[in-house]
Amino acid sequence: MRFDNATIPEIADEYVLGLLDRAEQQALEQESERNPALRTAIAASQERYLPLDLTVELVDVPVGLWARIEAGLSDGDAAVPLGGATLAPEAALTAAANDNRRAGWRAAALSSMAASLVLAVALTWSLGRHADPVVIAVLLNEAGEVQAVVEDFGNDTAQIRLLADIRVPADKAVEVWTLPSQETGPVSLGLLEDGRHHAWKGRHFPCRRLRSSTRSRCRMPEVRRPVVRPDRFSPRDLRNRPIVQPRRLA
Amino acid sequence: MEEDRLEALREDEQMKHILSAWQALDRNSRLHERLGALDERKRRGILLAYVGGYTHGEIAGRLKLPLGTTKSWIRRGLSALRECMA
């Protein structure tokens, strides 16, 4: 693949439309790390087609949904029915993962940090995972049933858990997308590693802190429903998956 | 046989849904205007790729065009949109 002034606009368009194969996509993404002209062309292309993404219709959440979620969070251990939907066992795991009441693990983790760099890296991930989320986005389907929960921990870490019983064929993958800003356009947050859960760090983050020191001042620009897509690069199937209802917790 | 017909109906419905994305755009938007100015085959190719997530080969199959022709139509359509919306 050749990247020069003549080919970059065309390649950027084909990338944004999902017409490159996986090898071409990877080559382009590597090149974009060091090629500002390519990054600019990709951003311009994403901006050009963004109105198509915005034609999706948002889904209203059932009345009282957020009150029930908050009640469930404050209860701690209790499982809370949401919108009439039955939560999968993973819902209970979500609450437990955010429970910081267990004493001892912090001390153990700090000791591990001193022990080795590898453990320090692992601990950083662990702290992010077990902290209270600053923002939770509950993704619903057209019937208002809970499909997944995105948790943003306000420290450059977030995770998504699928709660719905989604069967992913062996040759398919589930990919999560976000829309950090209209300038940036839709950005893939990556594939769900085990088909149900994914944690990530990075600059294309769902939650943008308005003030870094204020945990409650955080907003979720837009998160799109994770989609099952072929295990090849055809990522622009962005319609029919609006669904997000961002919620400030604190 | 019945399954084939059902599959064809689903496919037809999916195609209509994808192509309706253009109609759902704000009528005053530049993208709506520029897509509308394109030849229908170019517009359909772009929408099938962007909205439907189809590959060149899948688009060629749905538009019943040779693969090379499909690639060429889409590239020309993309080029036209770049020039118009620059």
- Cα A11 from chain centroid (whole Å): 26
- Taking residues A18-38, report their average pLDDT: 91
CA nearest A177: which of A200, A145, A146, A144? A200
* Higher-scoring residue by pLDDT: B80, B3: B80
- Whether B49 shows a pLDDT value over 50: the answer reads yes
Reading the block at residue A209, the tokens are 């802190």
B85/A18 Cβ within 8 A: no
Reading the block at residue A11, the tokens are 């390649």
- Nearest CB partner across the interface for B85, out of A17, A48, A238: A48
Q: What is the pLDDT of residue A203?
A: 47
B2-85 architecture in CATH? Orthogonal Bundle (1.10)
Measured between CA atoms, how close is A18 to chain B, in angstroms? 6
Q: A135-150, pLDDT tens digit by residue? A: 777 777 667 777 777 7
Number of H helices, E strands in chain B: 5, 0
Q: Which pLDDT band holds residue A158 (cuts at 50, 70, 90)?
A: confident
Measured between CA atoms, how close is A145 to chain B, in angstroms? 23
Highest mean pLDDT among A55-69, A107-121, A231-245: A55-69
Q: What is the pLDDT of residue A239?
A: 39
- Whether B68 shows a pLDDT value over 90: the answer reads yes
Reading the block at residue A54, the tokens are 């915005």
User: Cβ distance A124 to A141 under 8 Å?
Assistant: no
* C-alpha to C-alpha distance for B56 and B49, rounded to whole angstroms: 8
For residues A49, A53, A55, A58, the Cα torsion angle rounded to the nearest 10 degrees is: -160
Percent of chain B with pLDDT over 70: 99
Measured between CA atoms, how close is B36 to chain A, in angstroms? 13
B75/A55 Cβ within 8 A: no
Question: Considering only A20-29, A61-70, A126-135, B58-67, which range has the smallest mean pLDDT?
Answer: A126-135
Residues 6+ apart with CB under 8 A from A52: A238, A239, B21, B22, B25, B31, B47, B50, B51
**Ramachandran angles phi, psi of A132, nearest 5°:** -70, 135
How much is the mean pLDDT over chain A?
64
Contacts of B76 in chain A (CB under 8 A): none
- Taking residues B45-59, report their average pLDDT: 92
A52/B31 Cβ within 8 A: yes
- Taking residues A10-19, report their average pLDDT: 94
- Taking residues A68-92, report their average pLDDT: 56
First to last CA, chain A: 49
Strand A197-201 versus strand A208-209 pairing type: unpaired
Question: Considering only A207-216, B26-35, B59-68, which range has the smallest mean pLDDT?
Answer: A207-216
* Higher-scoring residue by pLDDT: A1, B81: B81
- Nearest CB partner across the interface for A236, out of B29, B32, B49: B49
Reading the block at residue B66, the tokens are 């040779």
* Higher-scoring residue by pLDDT: B8, A181: B8
A234/B82 Cβ within 8 A: no
- Whether A214 shows a pLDDT value over 70: the answer reads no
ipTM for the whole complex: 0.91
Q: Which pLDDT band holds residue A59 (cuts at 50, 70, 90)?
A: low
Number of H helices, E strands in chain A: 7, 10
Question: Considering only A71-80, A151-160, A233-242, B75-84, which range has the smallest mean pLDDT?
Answer: A233-242
User: Cβ distance A244 to A139 under 8 Å?
Assistant: yes
- Whether B37 shows a pLDDT value over 50: the answer reads yes
- Nearest CB partner across the interface for B46, out of A17, A235, A240: A17
**Ramachandran angles phi, psi of B15, nearest 5°:** -60, -45
Instruction: Find the residue in B nearest to A41 (Cα).
Output: B82
- Taking residues B24-53, report their average pLDDT: 91
CB atoms near residue A29 (< 10 Å): 14
